Each structure stands twice: as structure tokens, then as C-alpha cells.
Amino acid sequence: MVNQKRTVFYLSDRTGITAETLGHSLLTQFDGIEWNTINVPFLDDIEKAHNVTRQINEIAECEDHKPLVFSTLLNPEFLEIIKQANCRVFDFFEAFICPIEEELRLPFARMAGRSHGLQHHLSYFKRIAAINYVLAHDDGVNPKSFEEADIVLIGVSRSGKTPTCLYLGLQYGIAAANYPLTQDDMQVMQLPKVLQSARAKLFGLTLSAAQLHFIRQERRPNSTYASLAQCQHEIQWQESLFRQYNIPHLDTTRISIEEISATILNRCGLRRQLYG
Amino acid sequence: MVNQKRTVFYLSDRTGITAETLGHSLLTQFDGIEWNTINVPFLDDIEKAHNVTRQINEIAECEDHKPLVFSTLLNPEFLEIIKQANCRVFDFFEAFICPIEEELRLPFARMAGRSHGLQHHLSYFKRIAAINYVLAHDDGVNPKSFEEADIVLIGVSRSGKTPTCLYLGLQYGIAAANYPLTQDDMQVMQLPKVLQSARAKLFGLTLSAAQLHFIRQERRPNSTYASLAQCQHEIQWQESLFRQYNIPHLDTTRISIEEISATILNRCGLRRQLYG
């Protein structure tokens, strides 16, 4: 139920990812508001600051509510200009930098683009290598080089292996392979041979048969492949397999790619380094 | 130059992505510190809270410095326990929620998992569809369905098209295709035919010849493909092509995938909705 319409601005000297991530997590805690979101990344000259100020004032007048402004602006001059507008500014650096400076006994650098920029070439190349690894080891391709994998996700078709591997590679630099469990494997209650040497790296993705049915219907409507009976059969089979071989696994029915990935890293004790 | 070694904890009821994004953007503003990072996602029972408290106290004693703690904990009881430890706590919600409640005249929901959880099924399916689109339209595959693309990235081999498309799909739900410019195209100073109907969606990625040479050397050392002369030739050619056809383009030599993606969205006026 929508009770209010409000506008939120995300202002940043660079990508705006930090401002948006932080503002989004605050605003999702409030129900009943329809948000009009305006992103202003790369706010790097005074004219842009004045333009945004005008836009804020126009919206404030039109909506009869102050827009909320989440800022990671590092340029104090631009931030001052924005603060003159008819809005409520939440500045992330202002809120935290002083007590951190005090604790570390160091001044902060006030350099834009450090959080999502190219600070560390080596770890950046590790990330690109991880993405390439994921693409080269999707859907059971190249199982011979699973020994280089950090993790190998397994599960039946459409259980969410590929998006999760991509997220692990892109956001965390994890070399994530995946291997589909198929009809052929189901003939025998046995782990596919090619996975046996990667036993310690296996992680299973499962979900409710109803959800799997829904997802497969989108792909191949009214096929045997998508039928609820087939989905029930495959899910039952794979969950028995996971238990039989003591493979850690996760029910992904109600959780997002971010939650699946964070859970896998946590349960497998993989070192995480957030890039995004 | 490293002057201090310090420990930072990221505590969260759920994925920890918000806590880590916040802390990372603040801490990258301080030079000369080597950080020992400890992530504690899914801090969802009192025993875990006590364990973390013990761990913080041990490190504080051992390092002779208070660890920094960035928290997005929504459970006030757990947060109180952590605050008893010998550390400096920066609580994200505490810092901002009160003034936002006041401005919106609404209480906050105090529900964990809203930011990176599965709140909106429809937009989530749009995101998965975008990822599938990216995978099905990588490296010039299926150019006939470029009409469904939000954007089509073009550039020579190893210019960063694939990681950028994946990021656009995963993080923003953008249907991003890419098409490689090759030797065959270089014979004629002309846009490949298959791209002509997608003219309005084209965006070029370029980089310095030296960087391209470096990247290709990793892939095929000492090949003609990787030689500096070949890289110079290809970059020169593609930049002329971009200018000739007035195709917006970006030099990615010194910028990250996040910055490339944010710039593309900004310059092409694509609506952005951050998922990650």
C-alpha cells in the first residue's frame, strides 16, 4: 500500500554505487513509500552541482516534500552547494569520517573513486581471471580443470548455478565452476564420476519443485522437462544424493543471488573480498 | 607504505554486503594501513554475538589497537552485546535511521534481509532474464536478436566487453549484447553489416595499445595477435571507426568494470536499478 510518493537523489563524484547501496538499504526499511529515484554519478563540476540543486528545488516545490539526498561527494564545495537546496542531505563520509580519523590518528585522503576504482591491479586481474574461469567452466564444460576451482556448484537444470557462479566470480573473484546433474546421472544413485575428484569443493543448489516447475515453464512451456512431476522427481533425487555423499547444499527457493553467494562463502570458509 | 596493522569486522544479520560496502568506501580513504578483514554475515543468534565479542577482545589485546566494527545489525540485543567489546563500533542504521524516520514521519521496519533479499519477484526475474540474455549474446552470438538489447558493446578482442556485459546484466538487469570487431571488419572501413540496424544502441570500448598488448600477452604470449604493432593497428582502426560513425565510446585503460558500467548507463541514459 503506497501512502507517500517521495524522491531520492544519489549523488557521487564517481560511480554512485556506494551511495545507492547504502541509501537503498536504509530506504527498504520503510514501507508504504513509492520512490522516484534520481542517480547523479560523476558529479564532478560546479555547474552539475548547480543543476542538481535546481532540480531538487523544483521537485520539492512540486511534490510538497523535501527530496532525500544520499551523498558520497568528497568535494566539500559541491556538497555545500547541494546543502543550500530544499532537501534533507545524508552524507556518508561526514557521518563517519571524523570518528575514524580520531581512532586511526590519520587524516582521510578525500580522493574520489577509491572504492570502486582500479586501486589494486593485481587483485583486479585476479577478478578478471575468475570471470574467465567461470565462463570457461559453465554447465559442465572442462571438468578436467575443476582442480583449479575454488568451488563447484552442482544441481539439476535451472537450479540457479550459472547466475550464482557469475556473481561469485564478478563480485568476489572466486573461480566457481558448475556441473549439471542430468537424467543420465539419475539412472544410478551415484555421483557423476567426473565430480569424484572434486568432492571437497562440491556445493549443491536445490529449490522447491514448485519453483523449479515455474522457472522451467518459462523456458519450455508444457514440456515433460517442465512438468511438476518431473521437477519433483529430480529434486527428490538430487537431495538424496546430497545427503548420501554428505555434500553441503542450500535451498534457494526464497533467497537472492546475493544471499546464496554469501551463504556459500560463509559455509565453505572461502575468503571473501568484495569488488562491487 | 604500511604504518599500522588494524583489524576490521563487518557484522550483519544477513549477507554483509551493505556493511562491507560502507566500511570499504570509508577505509580506502586512509593510507598506510594494512587491514585484517573479518566478515561475520548471518549473525543471527546470541551465541554468535558472544563469540564475536570474544574474538574482538582477543584481537584488541593482541594488536594493542581497538578493532573497527562496521555493523548493519538490526537486532538491538546483538548490537548491545558487541558494543560491550573492546572496539569502536560504527553502526550504519543507528547513524541514519532517526533523521529519516523524522523526515518521512514513519517508523522503520527493522527487518533484516530487505536490501539484498528477494523483495520484488518481478524485478528479480527481469534480472535473471538479463543475465540469460547476456550469456546468449556474448561475442557476436545471435546478432539477429540485438533488437531486444538495451545496449550493444563493440570493440576488438580483449577490450573488456564480456565482463562489462555480465556486470550490466547482474547488477543492473540490463540486456547487454556484445560484438567483436575483427580482422575481417578491418579490411573495409565500414561498420559490420549486422550492426547497422542496432546503430542507436552501439557503444565502443577502447583502451591503450600498451594495455591491450599486456592483456593479450597473458592469453597468447608472443603471438602476432598479442604484438604491440597489431594492438596499435587495431586500436587506431577501431577509434577511427567510432569517430566516423559517431559511436559513443570510452577509454577503459585506467578504470574498473564498475566505472565503465556506470559511465555507459549515464551516457546512454539507461535507467539504472542496482540489484547488488
Interface confidence (ipTM) of the complex: 0.90
Angstroms from B189 CA to nearest CA on chain A? 31
Q: Residue A253's closest chain B neighbor by CA?
A: B118
Nearest-angstrom CA–CA distance, A263 and A247: 15
Flag whether A170 is in a domain.
Answer: yes
> Is A197 annotated for ligand binding?
no
Angstroms from A88 CA to nearest CA on chain B? 8
Same domain, A246 and A183: yes
Stated as kind and residue range, the H or E segment containing A155 is: strand A151-156
Residue A178 · residue A139 · CB < 8 Å: yes
**How far from chain centre, in Å, is Cα A120?**
21
Same domain, B138 and B211: yes
Flag whether B129 is in a domain.
Answer: yes
Same domain, A47 and A159: no
A14-33 residue pLDDT tens: 999 999 999 999 999 999 99
Which residues, listed in sequence order, are joined to residue B177 by a DSSP beta bridge? Answer: B152
Same domain, A100 and A134: no
Tell me what pLDDT residue A41 has: 94
Q: How many domains does chain A have?
A: 2
Same domain, A78 and A128: no
- Label residue B4 by pLDDT band (50, 70, 90): confident
Q: Which one of A18, A93, A113 has the shortest CB-CB distance to B21?
A: A18
Nearest-angstrom CA–CA distance, A67 and A81: 15
Q: C-alpha grid cell for residue A101?
A: 580519523
Angstroms from B183 CA to nearest CA on chain A? 23
Average pLDDT over residues B100-114: 89
Comparing CA positions, the residue from A89, A65, A24 lying closest to residue B171 is A24
The overall average pLDDT reported for chain B is 92
Flag whether A21 is in a domain.
Answer: yes
- Label residue A54 by pLDDT band (50, 70, 90): very high
Tell me what pLDDT residue B276 has: 59
Grouping H, G, I as helix, E, B as strand and the rest as coil, residue A180 is: strand
A149-196 residue pLDDT tens: 999 999 999 999 999 999 999 999 999 999 999 988 888 888 999 999
Q: How many CB pairs under 8 A join A and B?
A: 208
Average pLDDT over residues B237-244: 96
Tell me what pLDDT residue B120 has: 65
- Label residue B271 by pLDDT band (50, 70, 90): confident
> Is A256 annotated for ligand binding?
no
Q: Which one of A14, A22, A100 has the shortest CB-CB distance to B21?
A: A22
A215-262 residue pLDDT tens: 999 889 999 999 999 999 999 999 999 999 999 999 999 999 999 999
Same domain, A170 and A245: yes
Q: Which residue has the cell 528545488?
A: A57
Between A92-104 and A17-27, two packed helices, what is the crossing angle to 10 degrees? Answer: 110
Tell me what pLDDT residue A102 has: 93
Q: Do residue A117 and residue B256 have CB atoms under 8 angstroms apart?
A: yes
Which residues, listed in sequence order, are joined to residue A275 by a DSSP beta bridge? Answer: none
Average pLDDT over residues B234-247: 96
Nearest-angstrom CA–CA distance, A3 and A212: 35
- Label residue B115 by pLDDT band (50, 70, 90): confident
Q: Do residue B41 and residue A92 have CB atoms under 8 angstroms apart?
A: no
Q: Do residue B30 and residue A104 have CB atoms under 8 angstroms apart?
A: yes
Same domain, A68 and A96: yes
Read out DSSP for B211-257? HHHHHHHHHSTT-TTT-HHHHHHHHHHHHHHHHHTT--EEE-TT--H
Determine the residue type at B103. E
Between A121-136 and A161-172, two packed helices, what is the crossing angle to 10 degrees? Answer: 170
Comparing CA positions, the residue from A130, A127, A167 lying closest to residue A149 is A130
Q: Which one of A41, A163, A258 has the shortest CB-CB distance to B116?
A: A258
Mutation pick from B2, B24, B25 vs chain A, by most beta carbons of A within 10 Å, is B25
Same domain, B172 and B248: yes
Q: Residue A95's closest chain B neighbor by CA?
A: B95
Angstroms from B56 CA to nearest CA on chain A? 16
Q: Do residue B29 and residue A108 have CB atoms under 8 angstroms apart?
A: yes
Q: Do residue A28 and residue B119 have CB atoms under 8 angstroms apart?
A: yes
| Domain CATH for A80 | 3.40.50
- Label residue A119 by pLDDT band (50, 70, 90): low
- Label residue A123 by pLDDT band (50, 70, 90): confident
- Domain membership of residue B205 as a residue range: 121-268
**Residue A274 predicted with pLDDT over 90:** no
Average pLDDT over residues A113-122: 74
Tell me what pLDDT residue B226 has: 97
Q: Do residue B162 and residue A135 have CB atoms under 8 angstroms apart?
A: yes
Tell me what pLDDT residue A1 has: 67
**Residue A110 predicted with pLDDT over 90:** no
Task: Compute the Cα dihedral for A73, B124, B263, B10 and give only its sign.
Answer: positive
- HSE-CB at A174 with a 13 A cutoff on CA atoms is 27
Higher pLDDT, B3 or A2: B3
